[in-house]
Structure 1
Amino acid sequence: MVRYRRNRECNGTYFFTVTLRDRRSSLLVERFCDLQEAWKAAGRRIPHDVVAAVVLPDHLHAVIAMRDGRDDYSRLWQDIKKGFTLRTRARRTTQSPWQSRFWEHTIRDETDLRAHVDYVHFNPVKHGHVEWASDWPLSSFHRYVRDGLLPRDWGDAGP
């Protein structure tokens, strides 16, 4: 069995990219409620805070602060993926829709955190789904605007 070397810091903060196997799929936005329920269920087992997140058709990005004392984010993603797969399996193939791995980056400091949160919020614009970050509904961007941390007109596609 392959053992991946992953960095872990007690109650650290991490940036993740998690992707569907079929990059042409739009399953994550079509079944967003199932993803949300799977994530909530996993959160009851593995304590964490979602600092920022965006769900796109075929992948998602998240900045997560672990609060389980072990930083068992691999188990967190395993639980989320499994819960989502079980919720969507009745209408889909028996094969998991997820790629088996995920990308992880340990947030080093406030500058790194800001850069990754901005990346998360700008991602729908980057992929051409919308012209403004505020136009993408499945993003923590709206919480940042509501809390006064970002202006509503932040993150346009530019000229």
Structure 2
Amino acid sequence: MPDYRRYRIPGGCYFFTVNLLERSQNNLLVRHIDNLRKSVQATRKKRPFHIDAWVVLPNHIHCVWTLPPRDIDNTNRWRLIKQSFSKSLPATEKRSTVRLKRGERGIWQRRFWEHLIVDETEYAAHIEYCMINPLKHGLVKRVGDWPYSTFHRDVERGIFPVDWGGSVEVNKAIDQYDDWNEL
């Protein structure tokens, strides 16, 4: 069995990718976006964290979080978010025998992908990756057209211009991120 080691840095900043179990459930997350928002809000009340960036796509999530000082527990935060979201939906999905025995739902992949962000260059690249992802997947023609993203919050704060991701530079950025993902 593989050894899944996670870097634990108190108060660390992390990039996450969290996927649905069946990627063919191609719009579950956006169809139930209010349930997901409530699950995240409830989790943040119990176990606070700062949302640096977040994008919800039809079948997966990318986000960047910063944990509170001295806190290393992102795993239980994800467990709470996934559980709360799953409980908010009727149990209509197919489940394996193993999941049935464990009383698990068949909505999320068990694990998630995480990357500890170690410097400002990585931070900026991962934030931009979150923002540009809907465009990369062909869901919109401009980053600002995707409603399920902290991009809009960051435009209001003056971090991004409203037209960011709407020019030729976007294609270069997409190519750059595709190369980065293959490393």
C-alpha deviation, 1:157, in angstroms: 6.6
Give the conservation status (yes or no) of the 8 Å contact 1:131–1:157: no
- Where does residue 178 of structure 2 map in the other structure? none
Find the structure with the greater CA-based Rg: 2
Q: CA deviation at 1:116?
A: 0.2
Number of the residue aligned with 1:43: 44
Question: What letter is aligned with 1:51?
Answer: D
Within the candidate set 106, 130, 135, 2:145 is matched to 135
Q: TM-score, normalised by structure 1?
A: 0.93
Match of 2:164 in 1: 154
- Residue 138 of structure 1 aligns to a residue in which SS? coil
The corresponding residue for 2:5 is 5
Report the identity percentage. Answer: 41
Unaligned runs of 5+ in 2: 96-104, 172-183
Matched, 1:57 2:58: yes
What is the TM-score with the length of structure 2 in the denominator?
0.81
The answer for unaligned runs of 5 or more in structure 1 is none
SS at match of 1:24: coil
Q: Cα distance, 1:3 vs. partner?
A: 5.7
User: Which consecutive aligned stretches of 4+ in structure 1 deviate over 4 angstroms post-superposition?
Assistant: none
Q: How many residues align?
A: 158
Determine which structure has the larger strand proportion and give its number: 1
User: What pairs up with 1:3-152 in 2 under 5 angstroms?
Assistant: 4-25=4-25, 26-67=27-68, 69-88=70-89, 90=90, 92-93=92-93, 95-152=105-162
Residue 56 of structure 1 aligns with an amino acid whose one-letter code is: L
Contact 1:28 1:35 in 2 (8 A): yes
Deviations 1:117-146 (A, max 9, x none): 000000000000001100000000001110
